[in-house]
Amino acid sequence: MEKLFFEMPTIKRKDDALDYVNEFSLYNSHINGTGGLNRYTDDYEGWLEKLERDYIQEPDEERVPARTYFLVRESDNRIVGMINIRLVLNEKLSKYGGHIGYSIRPTERRKGYNKINLYLGLKVLDIYGVREAFLDADIDNPASWKTIEALGGKRVKEYFNDEYTHSVIVDYIIDVKESLKNNKQFEEYIAVKKIKR
Ligand SMILES: CC(C)(COP(=O)(O)OP(=O)(O)OC[C@H]1O[C@@H](n2cnc3c(N)ncnc32)[C@H](O)[C@@H]1OP(=O)(O)O)[C@@H](O)C(=O)NCCC(=O)NCCS
């Protein structure tokens, strides 16, 4: 498999980032993990400013501190995925949403990239001292819950979410350190050890 790395969004990636979001529209695909980029397609600079605010956000019931990264393939420098990592959960996110939201662009799916995306995301949570990651997935989204289970996610609850999705949601807990220890095989697919700026 190809090697991948996390990159912090900057102005240099404006065209690539918009191309990433457009692909989801073209394929009529659900999008996640963009830190709101899909709502800022006509204001990329404003989105970068929003990410700056996300970094230093004091947690409250509306917002929490978060990091958003591009998942980039080393061989052609293409953005293949995105991830939004919440470093602290408020009451709302502890019920629905959890620590991590992610996506892989439609033309790059089913290559194992999201497993690397989540593995790298868990490394970030580990750096920020999060021991237990809470993630959830719609039962009709096997690509998402299989990613979580591949990284050792344990099902803790299954329920009908009548507030946000009107579908069955599965809640997962991942022991961050244990998952990183048990999944070292993914290290060979990581291109750079530090997050690229
Ligand atoms: C969910 C998503 C990120 C998965 O990305 P991906 O790169 O295709 O996932 P991977 O290739 O790493 O596969 C992860 C697991 O899901 C399985 N999988 C992937 N696509 C699948 C599909 N369409 N149906 C069933 N299983 C699927 C893979 O086989 C793998 O399981 P395995 O380890 O048992 O083999 C991608 O489908 C996506 O962006 N969806 C839209 C956004 C979204 O739903 N995000 C999740 C909510 S936050």
pLDDT at 192: 80
Which CATH number fits the domain 4-136+184-189, given the four candidates 1.10.1740, 3.30.70, 1.10.3470, 3.40.630? 3.40.630
Which residue in this structure is represented by tokens 């501190």?
65
Residue 136: pLDDT over 90 = yes
* Residue/partner pairs of 144-151 with CB below 8 Å, 24 or more apart: 144/102, 144/114, 145/170, 145/172, 147/102, 147/114, 147/115, 147/117, 147/118, 148/118, 148/172, 148/174, 150/115, 151/115, 151/118, 151/119, 151/122, 151/179, 151/183
In this structure, which residue's CA is closest to atom 27 in ligand 1? 143
Residue 24: pLDDT over 90 = yes
CA dist., res. 189 & res. 187, Å (int): 5
84: Cβ below 6 Å to ligand 1? Answer: no
Alpha carbon of 69 to ligand 1 centroid (Å): 18
In this structure, which residue's CA is closest to atom 13 in ligand 1? 112
143: Cβ below 6 Å to ligand 1? Answer: yes
pLDDT at 71: 98
26 pLDDT band (50/70/90 cuts)? very high
Q: Compute CA distances 30 → 76, 103, 142, 144, 169, whole Å.
A: 25, 9, 14, 12, 16
pLDDT at 194: 73
Condensed to tens digits (0 to 9), the pLDDT of residues 93-129 reads 999 999 999 999 999 999 999 999 999 999 999 999 9
147: Cβ below 6 Å to ligand 1? Answer: yes
Condensed to tens digits (0 to 9), the pLDDT of residues 156-176 reads 999 999 999 999 999 999 999
pLDDT at 196: 73
Question: Higher model confidence: residue 194 or residue 107?
Answer: 107
Residue 193: pLDDT over 90 = no
Mean pLDDT value across residues 54-72 = 95
pLDDT at 12: 97
Q: Compute CA distances 7 → 61, 70, 138, 140, 159, whole Å.
A: 28, 5, 27, 30, 35
Q: Could you state, in order of their start, the residue ranges of all structural domains in the chain?
A: 4-136+184-189
104: Cβ below 6 Å to ligand 1? Answer: yes
